[in-house]
Structure 1
């Protein structure tokens, strides 16, 4: 009987240890990423943030609550998502709006850490605090959706014309006095800059001079702080920030002063210069974007899996798009690696592409058949030039966050294990008691 109990314990312990041993020993062959049409998998605008305000008019100094639905039209889930919002005060000049969009007065992440299942919707709501000093006028909230703070699925956050869903409302204020950037008169290298146009291509080594009129429409002289933030590519990730500068600007009442920023950095292909000026509790924001000629870098553009969960014996696809950022037509010596690992960091699948990257969007995919079912795993995408890591993205898929109904029910396994342990321990205890009794008998 003792041997039987020992054997039961051995079976239970082995059932736990074996997967760990196999995980340590298992390796997967490196698969090749095959070229595909990027837009068969990645669909710009496939996530919608359809919200509205409960009232058409709000008073300055109050709040406006937006609510509605977030819709994922993709046949796969979207993870690590975020809703980004830009608040605009509308221009009255139609031609100026066509060239430069509206006046940007605020921008922020409304919600982060979003996971939305395939072909599904979920409610979303957020609030914007209307500044007490906000001038009267027509306003608009423009919605954007990004994954991992970098992959654009709705709108382009670094533009003022490629917007996502919009919700209009009117602010009734007590004053029309403002201090703001006049975006219709911005110049870059002495030439007019248009916010609703293609990014200008500038010299690779020259200092780039950006000039913006700062307008004081109050009844007294003002000395506001102007904050400049220079980013590579866009302003969504902290690591993109290259430098920050602040300065005080004296602006007489009912006049304007030119504010200048000089970009000396030459190490990046694409820049975004964000300027912010605050007056009381209001903001005026501009984002000037430009490209340096002759400088390019490969970029990831939305890696994902085509199915969730990954089901044992059912083929699925791992994919990603990439492109060259900058003005160089073709970049050589690049490597794209897509890696799937389970919740214990065990390798599920890895695929790679080595070769050229062009300025046009390129798609790559790897089809494979999982040998197990996975409802929690991590997708890591990396792109390198030579041995230098250019960009890395980590996307976590978790059934509890995406769709709890898709989680596997593993409770029975733990119940069976517990019962086996109870029987084994009870048997050992019985055997010891019986042996003790036998030894005590004369």
Structure 2
């Protein structure tokens, strides 16, 4: 039994502040007590100090917040970040499909998976829902690297039988390889599986039906795909599925819209689609960085909120231009403001932590620094740059938090902890890995 005590300023937002204005829990001088990787106590130092008087205390300089949750990111696209000149469908053809074809080589997949996860940790992300490629061994490579780092990662083999010839599988291969991966990785460490059709245009009706069947057969897996990202994409989906009411209905007909469904983007949704998402418990990973980079549009926070749609945040590397979920939350503010919605900084933090955890169905395990949760947390440094230091000097908490979201990036993450163990230290530029079971 190992007990660790961390002392510092602690902030978490366990519930949506739009629904509960008292959702933020802040200790200006707090203690976070961890036993074998699990949080066993938390509170003001003045209230808890005597209880843990005999335990060594690690003093934390900075703001302790839950580890960030990236609800939509592509690890095979890391090396095509900042690829110039195209909107979504042409960008895929020109930049992304060739990059993903290289993952036919298992050695290449292993060479990318580790550095990708290190980038997540360096930016304060401890949990993520990740796209791999159509190659089953791309999932193996990612899961092996995640296991070594004891990270909470969900991923799955991409289903894509209508894609380019060098990235095509079949409906049968989709079923067999997905089932094999679920058997191989279920219950190992902190890993989770996600059935992952790329999007409606790259899977046949037969393969979409296979995806629905896999989801029905395995109540512990997620559904992870794209929805309503780009105007041209939406038009092509409408032409491909003329009998569907809308883009979401094209998935719904195959049993792919439910409480475990995570759809990336959702920019051009109708009220009917938002109502259906809320009715089923499905949610949206909002990806403002990639939406801006590809010229796709701005997410409508007000419409989603009016219907009660579940939300999280995604970096969407490599169309997204930063691994930082902290910075992504600042971009979400800007995207919301374009539509007249002012995203509160505490709600932005909730989206980046507990909201994303709920979307991935791990809200009981991470996201709020609550007693009984795994001790994944990040230390934010509001003096990381001279500009941040000037902007936050003497500022109240909400103003400091907003400045960190708008001006912060990996430089503002001084440390990342996974299950109470320091996984990244900015000042020493060192990663430390403590693998899971």
TM-score computed with the length of structure 2 as normaliser: 0.28
Higher helix share: 2
Higher strand share: 1
Structure with more relative contact order (C-alpha pairs < 8 Å, separation 6 or more)? 2
TM-score computed with the length of structure 1 as normaliser: 0.28
